[in-house]
């Protein structure tokens, strides 16, 4: 057996792949046959068993990678009650420039090389956001779940806490002390925005915010209330347009507001889509961006400066959130006794 393992360890990936029988689906038995190891040894090596040497683990991993072995999740679930799946639940919004793709990519990259796999499950604006969460828990289709667009008293969080099911949120809730999360301090974001706009002499701001029911929208409103007095700025929040609406809707309502309130000298936007729509409305209204009026936009993709140089931009690196949330979910599954991972990213004003 030992001599077989030694010989196999010297084979290339192509040579290892050639040892799989035509039409054979690689299994633990396949790895055992190729390596000369017992199936139980291969199984323990795949689970990183403490009684298995590092050389053996390395050999088994190398063979599994070369021959394209994929664990049988049904068998895994029967043996351990686990699926090794973490599901990301994200809203289907139909817009290209959202943070969903960046989140998915960064979570997947962080999970690469681990025993866990990522599934992505969309939910639609016209359905109950609790439905996909209940589906995951009731079917046991994942070991943990990650989701965003949290509300202060989010029913998804309440349900998962009651079920004691591992989860991580992108955004805080009123129960943030009880669950893992990654959040961007949107109160501080508003404070930084108003500070920068005040230095440019802006006094009357129109804010296009997320839907009011979402926690980060309420953080932004709190920021406007606190910082507007400090910087001597008047603000109004768009009542008819929010960041979840289409670009055409946002453009229409910004145009109408500019017609009704010509004293507006800045538009504060919370996404690239909103900022671009606002700029289109501003330029059609005959105003010069950066001179007559400013647009302050938050983006997750570096696109706004390519669209218009005179826009004021703040970047939220969603990939940091994705990597953190992946680690936070994995920790709950591998080391459930450790403190929950929680992080609040606080933006700061760049040097002028």
pLDDT for position 113:
84
Domain 83-184+319-345, CATH homologous superfamily name and number: Response regulator (3.40.50.2300)
pLDDT for position 134:
95
Q: Decide whether 2-70 matches 83-184+319-345 in CATH topology.
A: no
Q: What six digits make up the tokens of 303?
A: 């696109």
pLDDT for position 75:
56
CATH number for the segment(s) 186-315: 3.40.50.2300
Residues paired with 345 in a beta bridge = 184
Q: Which residues contact 350 (CB under 8 A, 6 or more apart)?
A: none
CATH number for the segment(s) 2-70: 1.10.260
Q: How far apart are CA 236 and CA 239, in angstroms?
A: 9
Beta-strand relationship, 117-123 and 167-170: unpaired
Residue 164 buriedness (CB in 10 A; 0-12 / 13-18 / 19+): exposed
Residues of the chain with pLDDT under 50: 78, 96-97
pTM: 0.75
Domain-wise residue ranges, the chain: 2-70, 83-184+319-345, 186-315
Residue with tokens 């070369």: 66
pLDDT for position 15:
85
pLDDT for position 76:
53
pLDDT for position 241:
87
pLDDT for position 325:
97
């Amino acid at each position: 057996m030992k001599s077989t393992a030694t010989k196999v360890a010297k084979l290339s990936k192509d040579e290892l792949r050639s040892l799989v029988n035509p039409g054979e689906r690689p299994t633990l038995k396949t790895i055992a046959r190729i390596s000369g190891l017992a199936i139980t040894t291969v199984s323990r090596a795949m689970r990183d068993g403490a009684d298995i040497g590092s050389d053996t683990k390395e050999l088994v991993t190398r063979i599994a990678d070369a021959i394209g072995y994929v664990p049988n999740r049904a068998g895994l679930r029967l043996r351990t009650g686990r699926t090794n799946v973490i599901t990301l639940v994200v809203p289907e919004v139909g817009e290209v420039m959202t943070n969903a793709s960046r989140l998915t990519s960064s979570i997947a990259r962080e999970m690469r090389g681990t025993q866990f796999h990522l599934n992505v499950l969309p939910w639609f604006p016209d359905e109950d956001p609790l439905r996909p969460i209940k589906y995951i828990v009731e079917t046991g289709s994942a070991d943990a779940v990650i989701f965003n667009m949290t509300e202060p008293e989010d029913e998804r969080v309440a349900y998962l806490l009651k079920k004691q099911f591992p989860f991580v949120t992108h955004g805080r809730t009123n129960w943030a002390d009880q669950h893992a999360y990654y959040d961007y301090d949107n109160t501080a974001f508003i404070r930084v925005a108003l500070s920068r706009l005040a230095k440019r002499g802006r006094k009357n701001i129109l804010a296009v915010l997320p839907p009011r029911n979402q926690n980060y929208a309420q953080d932004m409103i709190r920021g406007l209330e606190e910082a507007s007095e400090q910087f001597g700025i008047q603000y109004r929040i768009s009542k008819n347009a929010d960041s979840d609406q289409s670009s055409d809707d946002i453009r229409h309502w910004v145009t109408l507001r500019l017609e009704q309130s010509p004293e507006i000298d800045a538009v504060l936007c919370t996404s690239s889509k909103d900022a671009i729509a606002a700029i289109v409305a501003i330029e059609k209204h005959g105003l010069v961006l950066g001179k007559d009026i400013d647009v302050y936009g938050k983006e997750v993709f570096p696109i706004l400066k390519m669209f218009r140089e005179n826009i004021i931009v703040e970047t939220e690196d969603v990939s940091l959130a994705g990597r953190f949330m992946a680690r936070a979910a994995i920790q709950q599954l591998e080391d459930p006794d450790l403190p929950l991972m929680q992080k609040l990213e606080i933006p700061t004003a760049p040097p002028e």
